[in-house]
Amino acid sequence: MAECHECGEYENLPYQCRRCGNTFCAEHRLPENHNCPGMGEWDDPSGVFESSFDDSVGTGGSSDGVLDRLTGTGGPLGYFRGNMTYVFLGLMWITFISEYIVGYLLTGGLPPNGAGVTYYGTVSETWRSIFLLTSENPEYVWTWFTSILAHGGFFHIAANSIVLYFFGPLVERYLGAKRFTALFLASGAIAGLAQIGTALATGEASAVLGASGAAMAVLGLLTVVNPDLRVMLLIPPIPLPIWALTGFYVLFDLTGAITPIFGGGIAHYAHLAGLLVGLLVGQYVKGQQQIPNRLNFGGGNGGMGGGRRRY
């Protein structure tokens, strides 16, 4: 049985609000009966869908108005509003495939052992300048962002995809699509630069890629706004509070940053920097909306990456 988020009663046939994501009994299933955060947006000129249609009419064809018409409800790019988590997931996999396509076009061959990053990053400087943020060329500003979408292998991108798929929509609903986009890109870039900055400070050569910094920011924000969020793991099938899950990653990365116990190839400083961004943003936006109290892996609505590091 599920517990009503409003009154605490247990319900055999619960209702889940599509706006706030919480579960309610029959008495509190309607948005007006559980003080749904989405109710306040019906009187917002930008609307529930953040279309900003009225604003664009008043601006007389400004660049903001054009953007709002394109991405507003019914616009050709309207799907992107409220779905940036899935847009980033799609871009990650497109970039991952592109790593091999571009590498093949530049070198005329495929990596002999399947490790595309190791192979192409060694034999092609052009490939590195597209996909890797490196300590040799931190001034390549585009790599601050392309490196977020690039990944070092299937299990690397799969792990980050799982985190973003389950936790990203919660944060996007909480922040809105625009602020979620800013969080994803800013935390990913800051994480990569933190890893590169550490390498430069210690006189090491390093390169980073991957979305783990952004993923850690998502976990950090959720930990602040709802530390008691229960994550139902798939294996083993036990509920775990998100603060414990985040704490495990913190312990892992702090240990890895201090000692070589976990070996190389993991960008521990990038993970910690991304987490710090999420914690700070979470503290800033805390209390603005509600977050569901339970999240199931594997159903419902609901290798992180010296040398060349994956994160």
pLDDT in tens, 10-29: 776 777 787 777 778 888 88
Higher pLDDT, 79 or 234: 234
Residue 187: name the closest of 294, 271, 295 by CA: 271
Instruction: Indicate if 233 and 130 belong to the same structural domain.
Output: yes
Instruction: Indicate if 167 and 202 belong to the same structural domain.
Output: yes
Residues 5 and 23: their CA atoms lie apart, in Å, by 6
Instruction: Indicate if 89 and 135 belong to the same structural domain.
Output: yes
pLDDT in tens, 71-129: 555 556 666 666 899 999 999 999 999 999 998 898 888 776 666 777 787 778 899 89
Instruction: Indicate if 64 and 135 belong to the same structural domain.
Output: no
Instruction: Indicate if 87 and 31 belong to the same structural domain.
Output: no
What is the predicted pLDDT for the residue at 216? 96
Q: What percent of the chain has pLDDT over 70?
A: 74
pLDDT in tens, 132-173: 999 888 999 999 999 999 998 888 999 999 999 999 999 998
* 236 prior amide bond cis, ω within 30: yes
Total of domains in the chain: 3
Instruction: Indicate if 67 and 216 belong to the same structural domain.
Output: no
Residue 306: name the closest of 216, 198, 217 by CA: 198
Instruction: Indicate if 62 and 6 belong to the same structural domain.
Output: no
Structural domain range at position 190 = 83-310
Residues 8 and 136: their CA atoms lie apart, in Å, by 56
What number of other Cβ atoms are within 10 A of residue 252's Cβ? Answer: 16
